[in-house]
Structure 1
Amino acid sequence: MPQGTEAPAGTMAEGPTSHTQKQAGGLAKLREEFPASLIQALPKLWCKRCSDSRNKVCEDHRKAKCNDCGNYITTAHVDLSYVGHAELTHRLLDADPLWDWEPVAFDQRGLPQFDENGGLWIRLTVCGHSRLGYGDSQGKKGPNAVKEAIGDALRNAAMRFGAALDLWAKSDLREAQTEHPKTADDDAHYTPAPRQAASSPSASKPAIAAEASSGDDPLPRLVDQYKDCWGNPTALLQIRIDGKKQGVSDRSVQGPPPGNEWMTFDALLEARIGELRAAQGGDTERSAA
């Protein structure tokens, strides 16, 4: 006797069926946090002169081994956290062994249609639900560029289902670096300092100093990041969250002029985020998780 296929729950069904429960379980699986061992660091240059340089470093910066991404790269970069194509595929299979994707449009040869920016729109289907995603290869060419665009589109579409959603917040840093490029005059100088109560930072240039630190201390890197993102509340919020995770929230940093007062890393960012949101008419009460 042929095996039947379970039908999806109808609108008149009393409570969830095994079908809908299986869908809910699969979609919930996508939202689970990725273990730290599967999270990779993607370096992004924020200095245009470094990016345009033949050696990928300008005269205002230097190359050094990055403890986060592991690359020997200009110090004028930020590391974004992401999960790779293989790790995401593994998670999709855990959620739905029959997941699938397709391009939104095809060209005259029947191949996926890339847009004028070299990007690809796709439709990702998991547990019977579809979401759109967009990916590109950052201007690269060739077969590997196509595969990179597909992987990027899959990550983007999976994010719509909640996959690695916490990591995607870091992508705001890329936009912030473009909007607020760093100059050679912004390089931080680190000196020992006492810890003092927080005061409100001004809209001028941010902290110019922080407590003395060891070579693997995350504080100098985070200070560099928030200086570059001083006008972007979303990016500052993510940096504040990173500071909590890396245990530097109560470390002292020097605030911007004219006061140049010392305060905790967390208090400085909390006050600045509040100022920016008040200026934008936004929610000034939101704080880091």
Structure 2
Amino acid sequence: MPQGTEAPASTTAEGPTSHTQNQDMEELVSRMERLLEQAPKPTGTYGYTRAEQIAALHKLREPFDQREVRYKPQPYCKSCTSQKTWPKVCERHTEIKCQRCNGQKVTEAHICLKYIGHAEATNRLLNVDPFWDWKPLALDQNSLPQYDGHRGLWIRLTVCGVTRIGYGDATGKDGANAVKEIIGDAIRNAGMRFGMALNLWTSSDLQVLEPGVELAPELAAELGGPTRERKTDNQAAARSNPAAVPTASEKADGAAAGLLLDRLMGQVRDGWNNELILTQVKGEAEKRGVIDEKVQGPTQEWTPFRTLLMVRIAELKQAAPGGNSGNSGQAAA
């Protein structure tokens, strides 16, 4: 038998065989993909992989369309809220019909809070996970949801295999309507733990600010608007008085106050011809401690926020039927 060297298995006298190195690699990859598809999913995730969970839950945090956002009144006057009879309005304030809050009758000493209704929240959950579910944290002796001592309900909300706890109540309601309100409130509250409509649960747009970083003017304009008076430059202050340089905490507080003022000034622009809106803005600005900040009004002149609001409110009262022009100067003082 000849002792010559044999040809490699991958070749013949006619040339390369059909099983080349690339084809072997493609077959290996195909086998791996089939094995991954057949592999069991992680337990306790309802069949979702970790990557699928992250992608789906990220959709929960997408902003809602402005047409889905509603408003409800939130009184800030303790005397008004402590009234025993309806309407809950103290002697220092008057009752108004707030057009933004669906025409509800409420004390003028309130702010209009944005929120998402039960239908909108349910629609978002269904879009993210058609199999989402909620369960009460405890059951009573009749196997019905167990309420706590405040007539509130704790629930577990499960979305894409992730479960988080929420709480709901129906202050001021009773009967069957209260039950539905409690469930809807609990679902929205638990949804907020996933980041759903989280920006609406804050008093201003949720922003992540690093200490010492100021918003660029174009970003401030995009967030809502007006220009507010700039403080002394930090470097110049350091040269003249090192102790005057603000700390990181002070910078963060200043940035938060600036965002709040920007939002309020945006409401002023939208409600420039609405006395009730301006009155509500004035009340919130007083409560949040930004009423004496300087802002740039329609004439592009810097003026205290309080003066801008009071002058405009006086002008609207004067222009209203039965207005008294003699009170304009006093109201603006």
Instruction: Give the TM interval when normalised to the shorter protein.
Output: 0.5 to 0.7
**Structure 1 residue aligned with 2:116:** 83
* Contact 2:153/2:186 (<8 A) preserved: yes
Distance change (3 Å), C-alpha of 1:25 and 1:90: same
Structure 2: distance between partners of 1:74 and 1:136? 22
Superposed displacement of residue 5, structure 1: 9.0
Distance change (3 Å), C-alpha of 1:124 and 1:197: closer
**Structure 1 residue aligned with 2:236:** none
Structure 2: distance between partners of 1:223 and 1:167? 20
When the two structures are superposed, what TM-score results if normalisation uses the length of structure 2?
A: 0.52
Question: Which residue identity is paired with 1:167?
Answer: L
Distance change (3 Å), C-alpha of 1:27 and 1:124: same
Distance change (3 Å), C-alpha of 1:219 and 1:56: closer
Superposed displacement of residue 198, structure 1: 5.6
Structure 1: distance between partners of 2:159 and 2:86? 43
Select the residue among 191, 204, 226 that pairs with 2:285. Answer: 226
Question: Which residue identity is paired with 1:23?
Answer: Q
Structure 2: distance between partners of 1:149 and 1:251? 49
> Residue 82 of structure 1 aligns to a residue in which SS?
strand
Superposed displacement of residue 167, structure 1: 0.5
Question: Which residue identity is paired with 2:283?
Answer: D
Distance change (3 Å), C-alpha of 1:62 and 1:130: same
Question: Which residue identity is paired with 1:42?
Answer: K
Superposed displacement of residue 83, structure 1: 0.1
Distance change (3 Å), C-alpha of 1:220 and 1:97: same
Residue deviations 1:40-71 (CA, integer Å, cap 9, x gap): 00112223443314333333222233242132
* Contact 1:118/1:139 (<8 A) preserved: no
My pick for the range that moved more, 218-227 or 89-98, is: 218-227
Distance change (3 Å), C-alpha of 1:58 and 1:28: same
**Structure 1 residue aligned with 2:63:** 33
> Residue 170 of structure 1 aligns to a residue in which SS?
coil
Superposed displacement of residue 255, structure 1: 7.4
Superposed displacement of residue 107, structure 1: 0.7
Select the residue among 185, 193, 197 that pairs with 1:164. Answer: 197
Select the residue among 58, 83, 97 that pairs with 2:90. Answer: 58
Superposed displacement of residue 30, structure 1: 0.5
Structure 2: distance between partners of 1:27 and 1:196? 40
Structure 1: distance between partners of 2:50 and 2:147? 35
**Structure 2 residue aligned with 1:129:** 162
Structure 1: distance between partners of 2:305 and 2:132? 50
**Structure 2 residue aligned with 1:215:** 273
Q: 4+ residue runs of structure 1 moved beyond 4 angstroms?
A: 195-200, 210-213, 217-220, 250-253
**Structure 1 residue aligned with 2:148:** 115
* Contact 2:110/2:283 (<8 A) preserved: no
Identity %: 43
**For structure 1, which runs of at least 5 residues remain unmatched after alignment?**
11-16, 172-194, 201-209, 231-235, 257-261, 264-289
Distance change (3 Å), C-alpha of 1:8 and 1:132: same
Select the residue among 46, 50, 53 that pairs with 1:23. Answer: 53
**Structure 1 residue aligned with 2:238:** none
**For structure 2, which runs of at least 5 residues remain unmatched after alignment?**
1-36, 205-227, 233-245, 247-264, 309-333
Residue deviations 1:238-264 (CA, integer Å, cap 9, x gap): xx9xxx9xx99x8855379xxxxx89x
* Contact 1:34/1:164 (<8 A) preserved: yes
Question: Which residue identity is paired with 1:58?
Answer: C
Superposed displacement of residue 170, structure 1: 2.9
* Contact 2:89/2:95 (<8 A) preserved: yes
Structure 2: distance between partners of 1:253 and 1:196? 9
Structure 1: distance between partners of 2:305 and 2:107? 26
> Residue 71 of structure 2 aligns to a residue in which SS?
strand
Question: Which structure features the higher share of helix residues?
Answer: 2
* Contact 2:152/2:167 (<8 A) preserved: yes
Residue deviations 1:14-39 (CA, integer Å, cap 9, x gap): xxx98444322220110100011000
Residue deviations 1:135-194 (CA, integer Å, cap 9, x gap): 1111532111111111111111101100000011139xxxxxxxxxxxxxxxxxxxxxxx
* Contact 2:110/2:280 (<8 A) preserved: no
The CA RMSD over aligned residues, in Å, is 3.8
Superposed displacement of residue 197, structure 1: 6.2
2:129 counterpart of 1:99 = no
Structure 2: distance between partners of 1:63 and 1:22? 51
2:173 counterpart of 1:140 = yes
